Structures are given as structure tokens and as C-alpha cells.
Amino acid sequence: MAYVAIIDYGMGNLRSIYNKLKKLGTNCIITSQLNEIEAAEKIVLPGVGNFKAAMEKLNSLNLIEILNKKVLEDKVPILGICLGVQLFCKHSEEGDAKGLGWIDAEVVRFRVRDQIKYKVPHMGWNDVKIINSNTLDKSIKSDDQFYFVHSYHLQCNNSQDIWMTTNYDYEFVSAVHRENIYGTQFHPEKSHNTGFELLKRFADL
């Protein structure tokens, strides 16, 4: 039976995303096994922590090749969350490390001007602005908010990849989308009903 594979590479709160998908009635597993990832109908790449360490973990578990195959060749839908979406990019300032390179973007640290008002990490609830809409955002309203916890954010080189932006002292990319690749800097699994609906739409793709 086809299922959603939540990638376990030792970095991230996997249980919260697993529980939310289960609540939706989704068949899902937490795995780092190549054969289980190969059989997956959809993939979620979560993550919390250091970019360079995360890429090293993916490499040590031999996950990069299978992820490239599933995403770039088989065109399986993938959702990256927080550090997960950052790993989609070409490079990160955090550890001066190369990413998976699926999205033409860099990951940079927040450079806020007002350091009293805008603390780093950016932590808490914030709204989003949809730049290039897709099927996952059809239920998002203008006053809906999502939960963020991050010190780094994406800078996209191709404006067509920008799905959503958020303002935190300045406007930054808070979600990206290209073909079968979806990624959010915020945590939909911690964002109550709005995040729940986004996850449902991903599971229903």
C-alpha cells in the first residue's frame, strides 16, 4: 500500500508531523530505510537544527541518491518543513554548506535592523502573503497565521519558485513551490487548523 514517508535522519520532531498525518487518516511511516522510501507515494522532509549537520546526516545514511531519484526523476510530491525546506536549496550560510540544489536559492541568516523589536530566532505566529498560488493554499485566508521558529531563511533566485512571503522587519520567503516540490519555513503541524488543512491538501495530492 502506498504511504507518506517521513524521513528520519536524526534531526527534527518527527512524531508531531506523524501524529497530524495520522489524524488525517493518512497512511504514513517514519523511516530512513531506502526500500521504504522507494515505495513511498509522497515524502515529508522535516528538520530542526544545523544545516551542515543535516546534510552530513543525509549523506551518511545514503539518503541523498534515493531522494534525488524520487523527487527529480519520479516526481513524487515532497513537503519540506523548516530546516527541511532549507535543505532544498543550493547553499546555506550556516556551516557554509551545499544543499540538495532542487531550488535555486541560498539560505541566509536574518539581518534585522531593529534588534530590539525583532529578535533572532524569529519565533511565534506570523501571517503569510501568497505570491504564486497552488492547490495547497486554497483554504488560507488573509488573516491566517502560521507558527515559525528559525534564525535563517531562503533567498530565491527565481521568483517563480516563491510560494509565500512573510514580513519580519523585512519581507522574506516563507514557502516555495516548484512542480512536485513544496516547502514551508513555518511549521504546519504546529499551526492549528490552517496548518492542518495545508497538510490535508498535501496528503490528498
- Enumerate the active-site residues: 82, 187, 189
List CB contacts of 115: < 8 A, sequence separation 6 or more. none
33: left (phi over 0), alpha (psi -120 to 50) or beta: beta
- CA-based torsion, 65, 66, 67, 68: positive or negative: positive
Give Cα separations from 69 to 38, 56, 84, 102 (angstroms): 9, 19, 17, 12
Question: Of 7, 24, 11, which is closest to residue 189 (Cα–Cα)?
Answer: 24
192 by Cβ neighbours in 10 Å (0-12 / 13-18 / 19+) ranks as: middle
The helix (run of H) or strand (run of E) holding residue 83 is helix 83-86
- Please give the Cα distance from 151 to 149 (Å, whole number): 7
Question: Of 189, 198, 191, 145, which is closest to residue 20 (Cα–Cα)?
Answer: 189
